[in-house]
Amino acid sequence: MYKLVKPFFFKMDPEAAHHLVVDGLGRAARIPFVPSLLSGLWGVHPAKSLEVDVFGLRFAHPVGLAAGLDKNAKAVAGFSRIGLSFMEVGTVTPLGQPGNEPPRLFRLPTDEALINRMGFNNEGADAMAERLARLGRRRIPLAVNIGKNKTTPNENAADDYRACLKRLYPHGDFFVVNISSPNTPDLRKLQHGDELRGLLDAVRGEMEIQAKRAGGKPKPILVKIAPDNDEEQLAYMAEAILASGMAGIIATNTTIGRDGLKHPNAKETGGLSGRPLTERSTEVVRTLYRLTGGKLPIVGSGGIFTAQDAYDKIRAGASLVEVYTSLIYKGPGVVREIVKGLEERLRKDGFSRIADAVGADHR
């Protein structure tokens, strides 16, 4: 089915196609019988062996949706029906902002990649909170990816992350601190030094305040990092994230690297996602698992197009994985394809459950 409509989408401006799909999926999911139709077309019925228990949450299988596709939580009900076991919404900032000037999203078909310099364009935390409040019961765990406004200086960044947590705490099952987008000036500097420790301490403190106010346990917080860090930087980040009490790491965000690209759009600035990121993001997962001794759960993200791509990240140390660019190039059926392939690879390697495969390359 996707093969029939893909040429139509790829003739459109990439951002226009993006909005058409997300807005259309959001509207369609409100029509009676459409959610069941989506489940029938693309739903997944994984084996018990693929269930994942991590961060105090249960996931039907390891494959979820990365942030950036549903920035404003417009299509949560629809995405929940295409086989994903969890999804991220956002990145959301305290105040709505337009992001960078278009054009700001580019396809690189010959490289199976995307370049974006969106700049955290979103409607703001209030709009997202109101939309999620209307959603009601969630079918799959939902992560809210939070960031800072472009005009907020780094010395005040913690205030923005705390404001997002305060407004959206009731509506997320877990939260992701995004300090690794290359499209917000100086944001990546928050990954290093005292700025990282101070930010994470502030976020953890706000989470404890909100949990106490709600009368429950603090919700898990993950930190999303860039693939463009060397091993020394990764070691510092792993130490700081462990010490801060964060629940895990998402590895990785998009890259500013351009090695090996063939498409003319390679000259565009912004973050590169898709197939060129496959090996590097897996290597970052492998390094982080080794540096943390497997004590800090990792979500592998970057260039996952096949079951083997996902399995490589799991064996390298990822408990969960996320797709994004492969959905654009292969369509929703890629989720079912990956999940089925993971079952086959577990059986082939003699593992009875997916948890046994996590970090297997280190043993």
Active-site residue, 85 included: no
Among 85, 181, 244, 319, the active-site one is: 181
Helix (H) or strand (E) holding 307: helix 307-316
Sign of CA dihedral 43, 3, 303, 360: positive
Give the SS3 label for residue 325: helix
CA 99 vs CA 66, 68, 279: distances in Å: 19, 13, 29
Q: Please identify which residue in the block is written with the tokens 């989470």.
A: 207
Evaluate the omega torsion of the peptide bond into residue 62 and state whether it is cis, within 30 degrees of 0.
no
- What tokens appear for 298 in the block? 């990792």
User: CA-to-CA distance for 187 and 185, rounded, in angstroms?
Assistant: 6
User: CA-to-CA distance for 220 and 212, rounded, in angstroms?
Assistant: 14
DSSP output for 155-195: GGHHHHHHHHHHHHGGG-SEEEEE---TTSTTGGGGGSHHH
User: CA-to-CA distance for 187 and 154, rounded, in angstroms?
Assistant: 7
Contact 294/315 with Cβ under 8 angstroms? Answer: no
- What tokens appear for 8 in the block? 């139509």
Give the SS3 label for residue 206: helix
> Strand pairing of 57-59 and 174-178?
unpaired
Count other C-beta atoms under 10 Å from residue 8's C-beta: 10
User: CA-to-CA distance for 300 and 310, rounded, in angstroms?
Assistant: 8
Contact 357/316 with Cβ under 8 angstroms? Answer: no
Report the largest interatomic distance among the alpha carbons of the chain, rounded to a whole angstrom.
54
Q: Which amino acids are annotated catalytic?
A: 181
